[in-house]
Structure 1
Amino acid sequence: MASRYLPLIVAILITAPSFVSAQSLDIPIRGYGLSIGDSEEHVGLRINFRDRNLRSMRGVNITVWNPRNARSDVRGIAIGLPMTGAEDLRGIGLGLFGAGADGTIRGVAIGGVGAGAGESFTGIGLGGIGVGAGGDLKGIMVGGIGAGAGGSVKGIMISGIGAGAGGDMQGIAISGIGGGAGGSFRGLSVSGIASGAGVDLTGIHVAGVAAGAGNDAHGIIIGGIAAGAGGTLRGLGIAGVAVGAPEVRGILLSGLAAGGQDVSGIVLAPAYFLVDENGYQNGLAISAVNRVRGRQQGLTIGLLNIARDLRGVQIGLINYAGSNRAGMKLLPFFNTRFR
C-alpha cells in the first residue's frame, strides 16, 4: 500500500517545498495517519521538507532541514535528513548533521555533528562534535569534542576535549583536555590537562597537569604538576611538583614542594615544605627543607628545619627555633621548645 504513494511523496518533497510549507496531504484523514507537507498538528507519520507551521506532533516526524520557526511540541521520533529540530522534544531525535530543540529535550538526541537543547536537556545525548544544553543538563552526554551545559549538570559527560558546567555539577566528567564546573563539583573527574571547580570540589578528581578548587576541596585531588584549593583542602592532595592550600586537613604528597597557611596532617615533599607567616603546622612533615614561618606544633623531619615559634619537635641536620632562648635556637640533629 505504501509503495503506491511513494512517487507522489517524492514529487511533493522535491518539486514543491513552498507548497508543502503551507499545506499538507493527509492520508486517510486530516491530522491522522500519513501526512506529507507542513501540517500544523498530526498523529502518526509526518514527512516534510522544512517545518514552519508545525505546532504538535505525536509519532514519527521526518524532515530534511531544521525548522524555520521552532514552535512545535514533538513527542515520539524526530528524524532529520540531515537536520531535525523542534521547540520541545520528548522522545528520540536523530539527525545526520544535528538534532536538537530550541526549548527542552526529554529523551534521546543523536546528531552526527551536534545534539543539544537551548534550555534544558534530560536523557541521553550523542554528538560527533558537541552535545549540551543552554540551561540544565541531566543524563548521559557524549561529545567528540565538547560536552556541557550553561547551567547545572547531573549525570555523566564524556568528551574528547572539554566537559563541564557553567553552574554546579554532580556526577562524572571525563575529557581529553579539561573538565569542571563554574560552581561546585561533586563526583569524579578525569582530564588530560585540567580538572576543577570555581567554588567547591568534592570527590575524586584527577588531571594530567592541574586539579583544584577556587574554594574548598574535599576528597582526593591529583594533578600531574599541581593540585590545591583556594580555601580548605580536606583529604588527600597529590601532585608531581606542588600541592597545597591555605588550610589543609589531611595528607599532602608532592614530588617537589608543598605548603599552606594552616596545615594539620601529614606532608611528604622531597624538596621544600612551607607554612606561611602567622600560620601553623600540626602533624608530620618530611622534606629536605621545612620552613614554618608561624607556629610549629607537630614534628618536622629534614636536612634543615626552621620554625619561628617552635612548640613541637624538629629532627634534622640543622634545626632552628626562633622562639627558643639564646643558645638553644640553633641545634644539630634535634630541637624542641626551650624557653
Structure 2
Amino acid sequence: MKSKSFILAGLLFGMILAGPTHAASLDVPHPRYGLSFGNSETFHGLRFNLADEDVKTVRGMNFTVFNWDAHYEQPYTLTADRIDGLALGLMGPRAREINGLALGCWLTNVDTLRGINIAPIHVIGGTNTGFTFSLVHTLRKMNGISIGMVSNIEKESNGILIGLLYLTSPKVNGLVIQGLFSGKVREIRGVSLEWGSLAFLASGILAGLAVGPAPEATASPSFSPVGSKKLTGLMIGGYNLVEEQQGVLLGLFGNSIKKGSGLQVGTLFNTAESFDGVQIGFINHIEENPFLFRWMPGINFHFGGDEEETK
C-alpha cells in the first residue's frame, strides 16, 4: 500500500515538473474544477503548479512555486490571464488581472489588481485598487492604501501612501505619510505628513495640510522647508517656501512666498514679493509696500492688490 502511495506521489510530482513544458495536469474530479496538480489552463478550485505558462483563468486558490527557467531571462513576463481568489507563490503571482489576495515572497507582477497585494520584496504592476504592501513597489496607478519602503507611482495615487524611505507619485489625492526620503510629488490634495524628510520636491499644488521639514534639494533634515509652487489651504512646516499662496502659512522659523493672499505666521521671519493679507512674526517683509513699510517688526500687511496693476 505504501509503495503504491509513493508511486502515485512520484507520478504527481513528475506531472507537476512537466507542466510548463507539456501543459499537463492531474485534475480531480474534473478537468475544470476540484483539485488540480500541474499547468491546467482553466480551473475552478484548488490549483498547485510548479510554474505557470499560458494560463487563462483560475478561480479559487492558485499556488505557483516559481516561474520556469525561460522566465528568468524575462522576469516581468505575465504567465496567466486572470486569477480570482487567492494567488500564492514563492516567486510571486504573475497575471494580467488578479481579483482577491496576491501573496508572494518576491516580484508580484500584475497589470490590474483588485484586493490585497503583498510581496515583501517587490510589487510591480499597472492599476492596483485596494491594499499594497512591499519593500519596493512600482505601479502606474494606486487606489487605496500603499505601504512601502520604496514606492514609485507613475501616474496617480488615490488614498493613503506611507513611504518610510522614499516615495514618489506625480499626483496624490488623500493622505501621504513620508519618512526619511520623500520623492517628487507634483500635486497633493489632502494631507501630507513628512516629518524628517530629506528630499521632498512638492512642485505643484498642496491643497490641505503639509507638516514637517520637507526640503527641495537639501541635505539637512533638521531645518528643512516645506516647498510647493502653489498652495491652496494650510501649510505647516519649519520653513515654508511657496511660489503662489492662497490660505495660511504657519512656519516654525518663517515663510517665504512670491505671490499670495491670506495669512503668514512665522516665529522669526516672513517675506513676500506680492501679498494681500497679514504677516505676523519677528521680522516681516512685503516688497510691494511703500519703502518705509516694506520691513516691519511684529506685524505687516498689504491689501488692495498690485499698485501698478490698479493704475
Task: Identify whether the pair has TM-score above 0.5, normalized to the shorter chain.
Answer: yes
Question: 4+ residue stretches of structure 1 with deviation over 6 A?
Answer: 4-7
1:6–1:244 Cα change, 3 Å: farther
Are residue 227 (structure 1) and residue 237 (structure 2) matched?
Answer: no
Counterpart among 83, 89, 92 of residue 92 in structure 2: 83
Aligned positions, number: 277
Pairing of 1:1-339 with structure 2 (within 5 A): 8=8, 12-13=12-13, 18-21=17-20, 22=22, 23-66=24-67, 68=71, 69-70=77-78, 71-101=80-110, 103-117=111-125, 119-127=126-134, 129-133=135-139, 135-143=140-148, 145-166=149-170, 168-179=171-182, 182-191=185-194, 192-193=196-197, 195=200, 197-208=202-213, 209-214=224-229, 216-224=230-238, 226-231=239-244, 233-270=245-282, 272-276=283-287, 279-280=288-289, 292=294, 300-301=296-297
The CA RMSD measured in Å over matched residues stands at 3.0
1:85–1:189 Cα change, 3 Å: same
CA contact under 8 A between 1:196 and 1:213: conserved in structure 2? yes
Distance 2:303 2:128 in 1: 57
| CA deviation vs aligned residue, 1:114-147 (integer Å, no higher than 9, x gap) | 3342x111111111x12341x211001111x123
**Cα shift at 1:311:** 11
Structure 2, unaligned runs of 5 or more: 72-76, 214-223, 305-311
1:87–1:207 Cα change, 3 Å: same
| CA deviation vs aligned residue, 1:222-266 (integer Å, no higher than 9, x gap) | 222x212122x1222123444121122222222332211222222
Question: What amino acid sits opposite 1:125 in the alignment?
Answer: T
Q: Which has the larger radius of gyration?
A: 1
2:155 alignment partner, SS class: coil
Distance 1:45 1:30 in 2: 12
Question: What amino acid sits opposite 1:206 in the alignment?
Answer: V
CA contact under 8 A between 2:15 and 2:37: conserved in structure 1? no
Give the percent of matched residue pairs that are identical in Structure 1 and Structure 2: 25
Q: Relative contact order, CA 8 A, sep 6+: which one is greater?
A: 2
1:5–1:251 Cα change, 3 Å: farther
**Cα shift at 1:48:** 0.8
Question: Counterpart of 1:328?
Answer: none
CA contact under 8 A between 2:188 and 2:206: conserved in structure 1? yes
**Cα shift at 1:302:** 6.0
